[in-house]
């Protein structure tokens, strides 16, 4: 048996982020002003984000320097380990070689600090005192609370009601790093009050929580908003994951045939896969990249490619994306981080151009894969991460059926140590399979009056 764990030294932490925009054959269409439906420039984002991040959002530079202070902060948990899943391979009796990059070693327990740290850094540089945000499962809120605390800034988080009630430890974590946390929809904002008037028992959604955080962020000069996925600069920051993984795979003397990651808004998928897709675009390699999404929130496999809002109320610019419609409220599955109606602009364009693939999995199949992983590899995965494992298991089983060996790499983007209630529900048979009908998707899409894309 060769190495189980492939490690890098601190010196090997990448010094630049990789911007796939520079290499894309078709660049994404521009964001539109919702009122005039004409393309907007970067200045439209200035009330919401600091200029340092806006520049990255629209940059076509292939490589972007990681500031020294950010690299230093990354050292708290980076480089992260890459493992060979010998235990899982054996249990599946597959000829495939399975590797996973483990991002659960960060203080927040997921990949999210990879962007929370630079986002806090660029805000701090421009004199911002407070960052507001939303959180679904609590992972992003925890990551931003941690990063703001490290840069001595305030952090205020709107947490989707369903998770606020179900994951009290996530809230306490954020409080420990000094952040304040509200259940969303809340009465603190017009957006929240509007939703509550329609449905006082609303379980909330990422789209609603985003509306609330932006509404308050734009009210003060010294406060800004931060998003934990979807946007180009967030995907950019996450490429540290794939660049490290590429180095580690080289050390293992291997190159993946398939890279896999769970998909919420696209950031951890982009983070792992873009540095490998660069080899396809630059060197003609044929590495497959598969995004794994929940069957109950299937924007990539059953959504449409058109302009839509990033939030529920319609405060963001119109973005060209795969979407289920900004009013779509996904069933309350346990993978809270994947309950988002749309996909990032870059990943959407890549899917449209058939440069990446997508696959949907049902909740029970994901937990089955996650439990198998926990029992063979030891780490208990986040419910979101279970989606990537489910795809990896399918691919490994296909290798067995076809009698061929492939190298599979997936992103174990977070641990599930705060998600034990979800596992408990699974073990006690309380997890149901939600069958999303075409009628439900059609009715959400029918409400859209945003521009279509030919």
Ligand X SMILES: *Cc1c(COP(=O)(O)O)cnc(C)c1O
Cis check for the bond before 79: say yes or no (omega within 30 of 0). yes
Q: Which stretch binds ligand X (CB under 6 A): 4-12, 245-253, 295-303, 378-386?
A: 378-386
| C-alpha distances in Å from residue 324, one per residue of 29, 296, 345 | 19, 11, 14
Total number of residues that touch ligand X (CB under 6 A): 21
For position 241 contacting ligand X by CB under 6 A, the verdict is no
Out of 19, 149, 268, 348, the residue judged to bind ligand X by CB under 6 A: 268
Cβ 451 to ligand X shortest distance, Å: 25
Q: Which is nearer to ligand X, 265 or 342 (CB)?
A: 265
Q: Which is nearer to ligand X, 325 or 388 (CB)?
A: 388
Cβ 414 to ligand X shortest distance, Å: 3
| Helices and strands per DSSP (H, E), number in the chain | 17, 15
For position 135 contacting ligand X by CB under 6 A, the verdict is no
Out of 110, 248, 316, 407, the residue judged to bind ligand X by CB under 6 A: 110
Q: Residue 219: CA atoms inside 13 Å, Cβ hemisphere, count? A: 10
With both helix axes pointing from N to C terminus, report the angle between 267-283 and 345-352 in degrees, rounded to the nearest 10. 50
For position 298 contacting ligand X by CB under 6 A, the verdict is no
Radius of gyration of the chain from Cα atoms? 20
With both helix axes pointing from N to C terminus, report the angle between 420-427 and 363-377 in degrees, rounded to the nearest 10. 110
- Interaction pattern, residues 56-95, with ligand X; x per rule: CB under 6 A: ----------------------------------------
Cβ 380 to ligand X shortest distance, Å: 12
User: Cα 314 vs. chain centroid, distance in angstroms?
Assistant: 21
In total, the chain counts a number of residues equal to 454
Secondary structure class of 357 (helix, strand, coil): strand
For position 265 contacting ligand X by CB under 6 A, the verdict is yes
For position 140 contacting ligand X by CB under 6 A, the verdict is yes
Angle formed at CA 270 by CA 411 and CA 401, multiple of 5 degrees: 50
Please, are residues 159 and 165 in contact by the beta-carbon 8 Å criterion?
Answer: no
Cβ 191 to ligand X shortest distance, Å: 21
Out of 115, 184, 239, 267, the residue judged to bind ligand X by CB under 6 A: 267
Cβ 262 to ligand X shortest distance, Å: 5
| C-alpha distances in Å from residue 135, one per residue of 159, 190, 368 | 5, 18, 26
Cβ 235 to ligand X shortest distance, Å: 8
Q: Residue 119: CA atoms inside 13 Å, Cβ hemisphere, count? A: 37
Out of 139, 239, 292, 296, the residue judged to bind ligand X by CB under 6 A: 139
For position 338 contacting ligand X by CB under 6 A, the verdict is yes
Residues 6+ apart with CB under 8 A from 146: 107, 108, 113, 116, 177
- Interaction pattern, residues 388-427, with ligand X; x per rule: CB under 6 A: -------------------------xx-------------
For position 380 contacting ligand X by CB under 6 A, the verdict is no
Question: Among residue numbers 7 through 26, which ones bind ligand X (CB under 6 A)?
Answer: none
Neighbours of 106 (CB within 10 A): 25
Out of 100, 146, 158, 263, the residue judged to bind ligand X by CB under 6 A: 263
| C-alpha distances in Å from residue 149, one per residue of 120, 121, 169 | 9, 11, 18
Handedness of CA 304, 308, 312, 313 (dihedral sign): negative
Binding site for ligand X (CB under 6 A): 110, 112, 137, 139-140, 229, 262-269, 337-338, 382, 384-385, 413-414
């Amino acid at each position: 048996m060769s190495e189980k764990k492939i490690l890098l030294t601190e010196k090997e932490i990448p010094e630049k982020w990789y911007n796939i925009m520079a290499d894309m054959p078709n660049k994404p269409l521009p964001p539109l002003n919702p009122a005039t439906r004409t393309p907007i420039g970067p200045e439209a984002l200035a009330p919401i984000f600091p200029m340092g991040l806006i520049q990255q959002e629209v940059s076509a530079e292939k490589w972007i320097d990681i500031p020294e202070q950010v690299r230093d902060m990354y050292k708290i948990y980076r480089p992260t380990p890459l493992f060979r899943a010998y235990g899982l391979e054996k249990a599946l009796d597959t000829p495939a070689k399975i590797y996973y990059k483990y991002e659960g070693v960060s203080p927040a327990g997921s990949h999210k600090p990879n962007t929370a740290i630079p986002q806090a850094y660029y805000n701090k540089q421009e004199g911002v005192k407070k960052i507001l945000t939303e959180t679904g499962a609590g992972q992003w809120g925890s990551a931003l609370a941690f990063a703001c605390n490290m840069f001595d800034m305030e952090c205020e988080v709107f947490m989707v009601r369903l998770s606020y009630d179900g994951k009290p430890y996530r809230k306490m974590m954020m409080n420990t790093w000094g952040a304040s946390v509200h259940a969303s929809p809340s009465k603190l904002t017009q957006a929240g009050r509007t939703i509550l008037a329609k449905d006082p028992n609303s379980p909330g959604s990422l789209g609603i929580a985003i509306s609330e955080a932006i509404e308050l962020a734009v009210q003060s000069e010294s406060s800004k908003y931060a998003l934990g996925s979807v946007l180009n600069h967030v995907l950019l920051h996450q490429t540290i994951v794939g660049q490290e993984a590429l180095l580690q795979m080289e050390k293992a003397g291997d190159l993946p045939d398939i890279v896999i990651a769970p998909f919420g808004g696209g950031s951890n998928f982009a983070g792992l896969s873009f540095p490998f897709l660069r080899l396809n675009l630059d060197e003609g390699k044929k590495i497959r990249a598969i995004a794994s999404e929940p069957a109950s929130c299937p924007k990539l496999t059953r959504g449409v490619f058109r302009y839509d809002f990033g939030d529920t109320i319609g405060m963001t610019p119109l973005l060209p994306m795969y979407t289920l419609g900004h009013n779509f409220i996904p069933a309350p599955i346990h993978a809270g981080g994947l309950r988002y109606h749309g996909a990032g602009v870059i990943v959407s364009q890549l899917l449209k151009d058939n440069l990446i693939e997508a696959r949907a999995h049902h909740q029970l199949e994901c937990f089955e894969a996650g439990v198998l992983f926990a029992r063979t590899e030891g780490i208990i995965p986040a419910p979101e991460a279970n989606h990537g494992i489910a795809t990896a298991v399918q691919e490994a089983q296909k290798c067995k059926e076809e009698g061929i060996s492939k190298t599979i790499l997936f992103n174990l983007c977070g641990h599930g140590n705060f998600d034990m209630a979800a596992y408990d529900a699974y073990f006690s048979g309380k997890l149901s399979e939600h069958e999303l009908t075409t009628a439900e998707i059609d009715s959400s899409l029918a409400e859209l009056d945003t521009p279509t894309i030919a």
